[in-house]
Amino acid sequence: MQSRRGILFILSSPSGAGKSTLARRLMNWDNTLSFSVSATTRNPRAGEIEGREYFFRSHNEFVQMVDNNEMLEYAEVFGNFYGSPREVVENTIVEGKDVIFDIDWQGGQQIRNSGLASDVVSIFILPPSLKELQERLRGRGQDTDEVIQNRMEKCREEINHWAEYDYCLVNRKLDDTEEDLKNILKAERLKKCRQLTLEGLVSNLYNEVDLKS
Ligand code: ADP
Ligand code: 5GP
């Protein structure tokens, strides 16, 4: 028996607040963590690799995946579709391994309302200011001014949902936020509801007491 079920560790934030960077850092820290690679209809950015950042799919292919019930959740974000393939996530958490999601509030809501709700730990990442958010989007150097403008316009809609999450972190210094995320993960892994072998252990302890008395 696995000692625990895996956690669905959901990171959401306005675009540019730092969730992909933080997800990468967490995966470098703990190589048992896996990343839920989403499917998307958006075009690849320079340096993005099929199957690593995303599965890049045509609109028709994406709709087919949705119709086949292959998506755990999906949503339209900034004019493109994004979704989390279901099968790999379900198999991974049964093996007792945790999965990180970098998804928007709509996806977060759908997973929290699914049969996997008790396996979810959700974290909202806030930028210290909108000025800093814009600078991060510019500094990333991967989006046109028009795309950046569009993302800045949509950031309030994303921020509106911060209170739906279990935790909310302000990403000022990357090292500090990374440390906070590690601490959250470590504590959540230890919750008694996640430790599936505790009851057996406790009943063995009781039996040992009986033997000794
Ligand atoms: P998201 O995945 O939320 O869209 P990214 O992780 O791509 O955001 O981060 C956007 C940019 O901001 C990247 O260039 C990243 O290196 C930078 N960044 C992330 N967190 C911080 C931080 N705490 N301080 C300064 N720059 C940051
Ligand atoms: P980007 O285009 O910058 O990679 O992602 C844009 C937004 O889509 C980000 O807020 C990201 O979290 C979100 N996103 C990425 N993958 C998924 C997904 O599978 N489902 C949902 N709902 N949102 C996603």
Specify the pLDDT at position 58.
Answer: 98
Q: Is the dihedral of CA 149, 25, 52, 49 positive or negative?
A: positive
Measured by CA distance, the residue closest to atom 12 of ligand 2 is 103
Specify the pLDDT at position 145.
Answer: 94
For residue 13, the CA-to-ligand 1 centroid distance in Å is 11
Strand order in the sheet with 99-102: 34-35, 99-102, 8-12, 120-126, 167-170
- For 160-183, the pLDDT digits (tens) are 999 999 999 999 999 999 999 999
Specify the pLDDT at position 209.
Answer: 75
Specify the pLDDT at position 60.
Answer: 98
Specify the pLDDT at position 211.
Answer: 74
CA distance 105 to 115: 18
Residues 120/40/178/7 CA torsion (nearest 10 deg): 20
Q: Which residues, given as ranges, of the chain have pLDDT below 50?
A: none
Ligand 2 pocket test target in 103, 123, 125, 150 with most atoms within 8 Å of CB: 103
Specify the pLDDT at position 213.
Answer: 65
Specify the pLDDT at position 2.
Answer: 76
Q: For residue 178, what are its two tokens?
A: 């990374």
Question: What is the DSSP pairing of strand 71-77 with strand 38-40?
Answer: unpaired
